[in-house]
Amino acid sequence: MQRTGGFRRKSRSKLRKNVRSKGKISIRKFLQKFIEGDRVNLVAEPGVQGGMYHPRFHGKSGIIGIKQGSNYYVKIRDGNKDKSLLVHPIHLKKD
């Protein structure tokens, strides 16, 4: 039996843009830079699917780790576990 649903299943309200923020994506957000140790919030940009984390981590905050290509590793705490996510900077907001 095939698995029902995919990566963005049941995430319509989480990954929807506010009506006032619809439109073109800011190039400033796309090219923002972070340094290791910065605190960031995970806020998904629904217009860009690449480099997006799993929706269960939406709204969490973490610490920037190393950079890989144009993406960053973000260390977060999920319950009692430390996890690292590879996230594009467009989905990150400085804390």
pLDDT tens digits for 50-76? 999 999 999 999 999 999 999 999 999
Contact 91, 53 (CB under 8 A): yes
What is the residue-averaged pLDDT of the chain?
93
pTM of structure: 0.89
The domains located in the chain, with CATH, are: 26-94 (2.30.30.70)
Question: What is the number of H-type helices and E-type strands within the chain?
Answer: 1, 5
